[in-house]
Structure 1
Amino acid sequence: MTFLCPDPGALGAEDRSAAAVTALFDERAVTYAFARGTGVRVLLAALTAWLRQLPRRPSPVAAMVLCAPVTESWEAGAPLYEGADPFSGELTALGVPTLVIDDTGNRTGAGTEALWHATHASVLVEESVARHGHNGASGASQVRAVWERAAAFFSNTSRSEFGRMRGPELEVGFHNARELRLLPDVAAEAADVLVSAYGLLSHSRETHIRRMVDHPGTLVWARSGGLLVGCSHIRADGKWGACGTVPEYRGYGIGFRLARTGLRQVRDQFVEVGQNATHGLRLVLGCGFRPVHDESLVRAVLRTAVHREIEPVGSDALGFVYRRKREGGKDTGPLRLCLHASRSAVA
């Protein structure tokens, strides 16, 4: 079970964001989507684009909640996105159970009503939902109320306790390189986790240990019952060295928790993700990383960080794609660069 919450501001223009969301759809995972404001347009554009490309395939989204949709342009007759009529039957054909939470504080719009009728088996809830941030306790309780309603809808649709999946009891912490030099067994244990997580794509066990011990950085770890089940290595300059969870503990959000813990230790981070690594892209985008579309910025970051030149592959909705040589001279395969925090401000 995965969760998708498209951010229309993450990738620039709405058409680019919609194309990016389409690229992140994964038929192998049961996905639930929550979109708010202009993010509703992004999600629906992505879904209708999917239907046009793969008309005989099931929807990649099992259910969706559309909260406080921005509908002014729809009411004026503008299409959902260029070349598309949002109410031409495409949304109905998707067959996605949908909850529409309207913003009665800004008047129930004709566009919202049309959206409600156009989506399959949808429910319209008319209640006040603030569009621009939340202040004080009332704002926090409002956010909580909206999420509880959405989670209840997803739970009813999936016939499970959405958002309440029981996972292993975890202890999360971190060590710096100096501490790891005094804890060789921990470094070796972490290297074994990373080799297990990356499989044939992994660096050698010895390479992982050397990088953790010999270079300044932080190892974030997660243990269950004393057993190391996941870890993430972040270099002192902010580059993600590796992040992985042992296969039998996947699906519990451990990678996301490791990433969020690491961001509290090292704010300005960057990471290289495989072009087709959908799960990895979802993880980093969900943690606030943003893909880079500017080739010159990619080159500048990598010259400083890994002292490597790149071979351009192309560019798409999820950023500039390139190849470079790994340590030891092997080809990395096609990669993307994603930046976080103040680094992303220049992307």
Structure 2
Amino acid sequence: MPPSTLLSPSELSYLHSSLSLDLPIRPDARSPTTFRPLVAETDLLPTTNGSARLCFADGSEAIVGVKAEVERTIGASSTSSDVFARGEDGDGDTKMQSAEEEMNEERRRLARGKGQDSWIEVTIDMPGFARDDDGVVVFLAQMLQEGLVADEGLRDRLWIGWGWHWRIYVDILLLTTPNSYPLPLLSLTTHLALLATRLPAPISRIDEDPLFNDDWDAAEPLYPPSGSAHASKPPFTLLVISVEDNIFFDPSREELAVADAVCAVTVGTIDAPVSSGKRREGTPKLRLLSLRIIDPPARLAAATSGTEAEDDQGAWRPARGGMKRAVVGKMVKVVLEVGGVGEEVMTGLEGFHDG
């Protein structure tokens, strides 16, 4: 989806030159890793398990709702009914709390590797696209779902017991016509919605038909909060561009117009707290989930118009060829390193949820 721009060829050339400097100058004076201001809120849709709304400074706005339903797992194997046969020979009242904690821990252990990709569904509704099978809509939905299913921790959390699981539906609505490539907006809103998602606490054993606590205050977060024994965060996708050897996060419409290459970097967390080095205690360690190269808008426009090979069409022409391997490596490093862009984004989004 190449964004439209009203810049002339000479203005595009000037912008490209400014972004190519050793100390690059962005049109809005941001540093290469600084994001534009945004406004967000969570838990705004009362009939969902989790929801969020996010608005970028350019006016682009999206809302995401997450719904969860219990389903029977086709072809699931059964197990012996004595998996949780413990603590019943003593005082049940005094052992109830410890037995419940033990059951939850055992449930997490047994769930590892049992999650399935089909338990997660992502749908997107965008202005100007009446059909949900349009190529642009399908591509964006596939990229978002790719990151969610790559997060094995999310799939395993949907496992309830032998023969039952949660199916979650992530419904994304883009409320405004996008002024830039909408992937980061949709991804960050989805991240916040999943961070706010809660599921009813199970009170049945894993070899029984599922039974849940009907007290919503006792519902368990889909992603355990920071500082807990199994702290984790939903994945998110960042859009990164390169101009010559410089990289920039959260590109504006004008910056996308002169990008030499565009890359979508999806990161998630490792399901364990880390307290070493410079990382804050309880902050999950980041890991790379997927990396996608997206055709720059300028190159797509040139290929469509058939003027790429002509030298006299303007003061600036899009670069040819792919991304340099060193640039790709630099992008990933800046996102994943301790105290890097990935941690900054994750901490900032968690602040919206806590607020």
TM-score by length of 2: 0.20
Considering fraction of residues, name the structure with more helix.
1
TM-score by length of 1: 0.21
- Return the structure number with greater relative CO, CA threshold 8 A, min gap 6: 2
Larger Rg: 2
